[in-house]
Amino acid sequence: MTVIDRFLKYVTFDTQSNEDAGITPSTPGQRVFAEALVSELQEIGLEDITLDDKCYLMATLPANTDKDLPAIGFIAHLDTSPDMCGRGVEPRIVFYKGGDIVLCEEEQIILSPKMFPELNDYKGEDIIVSNGRTLLGADDKAGVASIIAAMDFLKEHPEIKHGKIRVGFTPDEEIGAGADYFDVKKFGCLFAYTIDGGALGELEYENFNAAAAKVSFKGLNVHPGYAKDKMQNASLLAVEFASWLPSVQRPEHTSGYEGFYHLTNMVGTVELASLSYIIRDHDRKLFEEKKDIVRELVQRMNKLYPGSTTLDLHDQYYNMREIVEPKKQIIELAMDAMRAAGVMPLVKPIRGGTDGARLSFMELPCPNIFAGGLNFHGRYEFLPVNSLVKCMETIIKIAELLNIKY
């Protein structure tokens, strides 16, 4: 089975995570997918295959060299984003000649280079798209497919010498819980790579510092005909609060190393309302300042409307750069592997996070490597076939070069 065949199969599993579930895995489809992967890993001939009660799947490709090499790992996540439907995904391969791609003629859902100019980079290539009614699931089933296909290739080509390789597949990465129950000691690697990046060549060892904030507002509801000097509308308090945050620091106005406040959800009635934010910044000092601003605005709201506003604010993960950068040989190995696979490395900061961010702070340094997909979390997601193949080849080359260079 090719890496393309695997991917086309994997995206048919409904594995959306659910941040409101309160259990791990947050959705039953992730376990169904993991159990199917167990069977594939067994067929390939991997060893030490374990799937625990929290849906963390691990396996081993034993070393086939006498060299005393450190064990390395490759990690991808099982779930897809809850931001867009992941049920009933119908992938299809399109040879891209340029111009618009009609994803769904009935609803006139069109993938266009006018909106997504990065499409132009893939003229003359096969790309995989959905039917426009769902996301595709390249995030991160492209990573899952690449890892398993690479292990299959190495197993079938014993002439490629390598050390012990561990593979891991985690649940609930998309809701920030992918590393919650990851057993680093059991995984047993000196370092690892998450295969969860975007476009061809991306190599990332910087990510956002991340926090989540829920601001809740309490109102007073009375009959609107008799509301003068009595009513306090919680929804309007929420609107007022949202207006105080700097509009230039929203995701749609930021890029590169710029951080943001992102309003992800709002719920409101006259009596009760809430705003949910994610707060992001690469710079730790600016990250702390952003959190302080939210705290100050809550205090300001309570001065204007005593007792009206409460805040639940907690950190989610931190910038892995401080852990990975002192171990630059991990980065250099990945860059050399990309070049050996015919890929130009593109080192850039992640405007997001991966399991690797938290794992790096759990004593498993874990940079992030491209899986090839673009436009994640929505109906316009697509995956160039060549990028998927090159991802698989990069994994193989990392294993091979470690044996040569170590």
Residue 283: active-site member: no
Residues 80 and 197 in one domain: yes
SS3 228: coil
Give CA–CA dist 55/380, Å, rounded: 29
pLDDT of 126 > 80? The answer is: yes
Among 138-142, 171-175, 236-240, 353-357, which stretch is predicted with the lowest mean pLDDT?
353-357
| 377-403 pLDDT per residue, tens | 899 999 999 999 999 999 999 999 999
Band of pLDDT at residue 181, cut at 50, 70 and 90: very high
Q: Which of 317, 347, 373 is the last residue of a domain?
A: 317
Residues 254 and 340 in one domain: no
Q: Which of 251, 284, 317 is the last residue of a domain?
A: 317
- Per DSSP, 327 falls in state G
User: Average per-residue pLDDT in the chain?
Assistant: 95
Domain of residue 179, CATH code: 3.40.630.10
Residues 164 and 196 in one domain: yes
- Per DSSP, 124 falls in state T
pLDDT score at 45: 97
**Of 14, 140, 152, 173, which is the active-site residue?**
173
Residues 217 and 311 in one domain: yes
| 308-366 pLDDT per residue, tens | 999 999 998 899 998 998 998 999 999 999 999 999 999 988 887 778 889 999 999 99
Give CA–CA dist 14/78, Å, rounded: 10
**Of 14, 79, 204, 206, which is the active-site residue?**
79
Domain of residue 244, CATH code: 3.30.70.360
pLDDT score at 98: 93
- Domain residues for 30? 3-206+319-405
Residues 267 and 296 in one domain: yes
Residues 101 and 161 in one domain: yes
In the chain, the number of structural domains is: 2
- Computed from CA positions of residues 207, 338, 371, 255, in that sequence, does the dihedral angle turn out positive or negative? positive
| 43-95 pLDDT per residue, tens | 999 999 999 999 999 999 999 999 999 999 999 999 999 989 999 999 999 99
Q: Which of 265, 284, 317 is the last residue of a domain?
A: 317
Residues 149 and 71 in one domain: yes
Beta strands 272-281 and 260-268, pairing class: antiparallel
Residue 173: active-site member: yes
- Check: CB of residue 34 under 8 Å from CB of residue 47: no
Residues 103 and 160 in one domain: yes
pLDDT of 97 > 80? The answer is: yes
pLDDT score at 347: 92
Q: Read off the pLDDT of each residue in 300-305 and give the average, rounded to a whole number.
A: 98
Residues 196 and 213 in one domain: no
Residues 294 and 354 in one domain: no
